[in-house]
A = this chain, B = another copy of it.
Amino acid sequence: MASLRVTPRALNHYSATFRPRLLRPRCQPRFPAKQTRWSSATTEPHQPAADGTTHGAPSSQKEIRFTSESYPNIKRDVRFGELSEKDVQYFKGLLGTESAVIDGISQDATDDLEPFNSDWMRKYKGHTKLVVKPGSTAEVSKILRYCNENMLAVVPQGGNSGLVGGSVPVFDEIVINMSRMNKIRDFDEVSGTLVVDAGCILEVVDHFLAEKSHIFPLDLGAKGSCHIGGNVATNAGGLRLLRYGSLHGNVLGIEAVLPDGTIMDDLSRLRKNNTGYDIKQLFIGGEGTIGIITGVSILCPQRSKATNVAFFGLESFDKVQQAFRAAKGRLSEILSAFELMDGQSQDLVHTVTHKKRPLEGQYPFYCLIETSGSNPDHDSEKLESFLEHVMGEEIVSDGVLAQDETQIQSLWSWREGIPECLGHWGGVYKYDLSIPLPELYQLVEDTRERLKSAGLVGDDEKYPVVGVVGYGHMGDSNLHLNVATRRFDKEVEEQLEPFVYEWIAKRNGSISAEHGLGLAKKPYIGYSRSETMIRLMKQIKDLYDPKGIMNPYKYI
């Protein structure tokens, strides 16, 4: 193989900092926390504005506002029954063990109910007085049938790690928490087919698979708490989507309980099964509004033996697109992540963390590229060929290549640290958007220009906006547009909305790429879906949940 043909400065940099030819990629680095999540380690989550954006001064652990107060326009549906002690007795009798029911009806259980009433971001809080924890699909069926017959509203709850308020009640809906259904039912090592209870925790499952040299085809920052059932119900995207595709392709079967108690026994282990409508697909991304997923069958790929990470500076978004195209062509089957970070996002990370930047110069754009493959030598060679191309053609201006897992983690931290650092000054307006790739970054520029023209952005305290940044899963056309602010200012919000949503609608983008609708995005679905599609969705909702007891006030 020819030696690297790179620009002198870049060559120096490469030589001085890392030795690409001495790469020792390690197995399976721990993937970073999902970049769109607040980290509670250094910044407290903030109160949501009424529109669901995260904003406001840091709040203490005691100050979560009730969703019913944050969203005063949402009224409790009077058709729903009020829970009585008789209902509680039914559930206690059904579930047997005391620990399977948290009863706030016949006693005060506020503290015990708190973790089920509020989300981990501390943005949403409900008024439930009853949590039930079924231990089997049959129990879920009996619970739902009872609730449906008695018009009792329910909220299915997995790991409660969602970002749009979908997994906690708004009023007094019964929480059906799936954590007791946590068995790995079956794994076939030849086909890679895994069957699990919905309440299995992603990380537990992935550890189980690691012992068998397989991986779960999905990875998330919340892996330590999120449930497989919740992942499937919200059609979680995450970091492996570029490589392994979406859950719509990987999920082979679903066992779910419909509101009337019907058990939908579609837990196929088969990769191919063309015998009728693929109804389970409606439950993937259905966010618990037409039934509760109780079991999942999913195809799991072999675990890669090698991982490499490279980090680049680029002069324009056009160059970023060229680099992405080159990565697809030259890294091809081993490309497992292509992440975009703009210069402003990296400046803010640097300002907050004071860490030494990975590159000496500063650039308007940065990319993080990860490869995962079965042969470390081959992967390194492919990466070198890619580097030779993108540096020789001056597509990238500079770059570094991680030499070990510590460096892999260090490079990832410049990507994963963004959301945390953005919260340093105050609240952040966060948008999770899909945009056709050629226009992906234009939204950030347009938004920045708009806020600057309105005199809202600046370096000192008199300006409400600290900065407008863009980053995200470039490989999936998924942009995270974030506006970091010092304080709440009505004018900022008025400049942003409906501007951002209208901008997305004009490009046929998505106002929620991977987070779902939940409570937060419900009002904005019309920007991404036509009236026809919304009508067809409501048809589906009415078909499966005619009484509307499933996860009310949310989704569509």
**Number of copies of this chain that the complex holds:** 2
Residues of chain B within 8 A (CB-CB) of A262 are 532
Nearest CB of chain B from residue A130's CB, rounded to whole Å: 28
Q: Is the CB of B274 within 8 A of A515?
A: yes
Q: Is the CB of A477 within 8 A of B271?
A: yes
Q: Is the C-beta of A156 less than 8 angstroms from some C-beta in chain B?
A: no
Residues of chain B within 8 A (CB-CB) of A530 are 265
Chain B residue at smallest Cβ distance from A528: B275
Interface residues of A in 277-315 (CB under 8 A from B): 277-279, 281-282, 284-286, 290, 302, 304
Interface residues of A in 352-402 (CB under 8 A from B): 373-375, 378, 381-382, 385
Q: Is the C-beta of A72 less than 8 angstroms from some C-beta in chain B?
A: no
Q: Is the CB of B329 within 8 A of A275?
A: no
Chain B residue at smallest Cβ distance from A244: B245
Q: Is the C-beta of A94 less than 8 angstroms from some C-beta in chain B?
A: no
Q: Is the CB of A277 within 8 A of B438?
A: no
Nearest CB of chain B from residue A386's CB, rounded to whole Å: 10
Residues of chain B within 8 A (CB-CB) of A274 are 234-235, 237, 285, 510, 512-517
Contacts A262-B532, A525-B275, A533-B265 hold; do A270 and B510 have CB atoms under 8 A apart? yes
Nearest CB of chain B from residue A84's CB, rounded to whole Å: 32
- The docked-state distance in angstroms from the alpha carbon of A478 to that of B245 is 21
Q: Is the C-beta of A534 less than 8 angstroms from some C-beta in chain B?
A: yes
Stretch of A51-59, A146-154, A535-543 with 4 or more beta carbons under 8 angstroms from chain B: A535-543
Q: Is the CB of B241 within 8 A of A279?
A: no
14 A-B residue pairings within 8 Å (CB atoms) = A191-B436, A191-B437, A245-B245, A248-B281, A265-B530, A270-B510, A271-B476, A272-B434, A272-B478, A274-B510, A275-B521, A276-B555, A278-B281, A378-B381
Residues of chain B within 8 A (CB-CB) of A495 are none
Nearest CB of chain B from residue A286's CB, rounded to whole Å: 6
- The docked-state distance in angstroms from the alpha carbon of A266 to that of B510 is 12
What bracket does the count of chain A residues touching chain B fall in?
35 or more
Q: Is the CB of B477 within 8 A of A275?
A: no
Chain B residue at smallest Cβ distance from A331: B374
Interface residues of A in 211-228 (CB under 8 A from B): 213
> Contact partner of A508 among B268, B382, B529, B537, CB < 8 A?
B268
> Contact partner of A241 among B272, B373, B509, B517, CB < 8 A?
B272
Q: Is the CB of A533 within 8 A of B276?
A: yes
> Contact partner of A276 among B273, B302, B525, CB < 8 A?
B525
> Contact partner of A510 among B272, B290, B325, CB < 8 A?
B272
Q: Is the C-beta of A500 less than 8 angstroms from some C-beta in chain B?
A: no
Residues of chain B within 8 A (CB-CB) of A248 are 248-249, 278, 281
Residues of chain B within 8 A (CB-CB) of A325 are 189-190
Residues of chain B within 8 A (CB-CB) of A373 are 332-333
Chain B residue at smallest Cβ distance from A235: B274
Q: Is the C-beta of A246 less than 8 angstroms from some C-beta in chain B?
A: yes
Q: Is the CB of B533 within 8 A of A543?
A: no
Residues of chain B within 8 A (CB-CB) of A532 are 262-265
Q: Is the C-beta of A334 less than 8 angstroms from some C-beta in chain B?
A: yes
Q: Is the C-beta of A321 less than 8 angstroms from some C-beta in chain B?
A: yes
Contacts A190-B324, A509-B270 hold; do A517 and B246 have CB atoms under 8 A apart? no
Q: Is the C-beta of A556 less than 8 angstroms from some C-beta in chain B?
A: yes
Interface residues of A in 181-228 (CB under 8 A from B): 188-193, 213
Nearest CB of chain B from residue A373's CB, rounded to whole Å: 6
Residues of chain B within 8 A (CB-CB) of A192 are 328
- The docked-state distance in angstroms from the alpha carbon of A247 to that of B2 is 40
- The docked-state distance in angstroms from the alpha carbon of A262 to that of B534 is 13
Q: Is the C-beta of A180 less than 8 angstroms from some C-beta in chain B?
A: no
Nearest CB of chain B from residue A27's CB, rounded to whole Å: 14
> Contact partner of A517 among B193, B270, B275, B509, CB < 8 A?
B275
Centre residue among A192, A515, A521, A536 by max chain B CB count within 10 A: A536
Residues of chain B within 8 A (CB-CB) of A514 are 272, 274
Contacts A436-B188, A532-B262 hold; do A278 and B285 have CB atoms under 8 A apart? yes
Residues of chain B within 8 A (CB-CB) of A269 are 436, 508
Q: Is the C-beta of A330 less than 8 angstroms from some C-beta in chain B?
A: yes
- The docked-state distance in angstroms from the alpha carbon of A262 to that of B515 is 29
Q: Is the CB of B438 within 8 A of A188?
A: yes
> Contact partner of A282 among B277, B286, B334, CB < 8 A?
B277
Q: Is the CB of B190 within 8 A of A321?
A: yes
Q: Is the C-beta of A155 less than 8 angstroms from some C-beta in chain B?
A: no
